[in-house]
Amino acid sequence: MNQIKTSKLEELHSAQHKLKAELKVHEERLNDKMEFLESNFGSMMLNSVLPFNAEERAKAYGIMDQVNNFIFKIIPGKNDEVKNERYSGTLKSIQMVVAGIVFKYLKKFF
């Protein structure tokens, strides 16, 4: 009887270990997808929400790149990696504002 309890306990530990490994794989996949979403939010917004054609998107991306480069240069700090990590959320917010302004003006020209 005691041996049956021990083998059942070992089975439970084995199943628990297997589930933890599967959970880790799913967590890593989810983290990868979240990182992709965070990194590409601005372009995804332009591609899906704002009704730009390819030419208008190219112009908007060019303007957004220039704005990002300018803002990144005026952010205090010497280490680019630290600045990028610390202010990436702010830059994404500014991208959305610029995207709205760009859309407003591009709409007037087209």
Tell me: do 50 and 7 sit in the same domain: no
Supply the range of the domain harboring residue 106. 42-110
Tell me: do 34 and 51 sit in the same domain: no
Burial state string for 15-45 with b = 16 or more CB within 10 A and e = fewer than 16? eeeeeeeeeeeeeeeeeeeeeeeeeeebeee
Tell me: do 35 and 50 sit in the same domain: no
Tell me: do 26 and 52 sit in the same domain: no
Tell me: do 58 and 108 sit in the same domain: yes
Q: pTM higher than 0.75 for the full model?
A: no
Q: Count up the domains in the chain and report the number.
A: 2
Predicted confidence at residue 73, as pLDDT, reads: 76
Cα 66 to Cα 3, 48, 71, 101: the distances in Å are 71, 22, 9, 14
Along the chain (110 residues), what's the average pLDDT of each consecutive run of 10 residues?
Answer: 76 94 95 83 66 70 75 73 71 70 66
Predicted confidence at residue 42, as pLDDT, reads: 66
Q: Which residue has the tokens 């087209």?
A: 110
Tell me: do 64 and 28 sit in the same domain: no
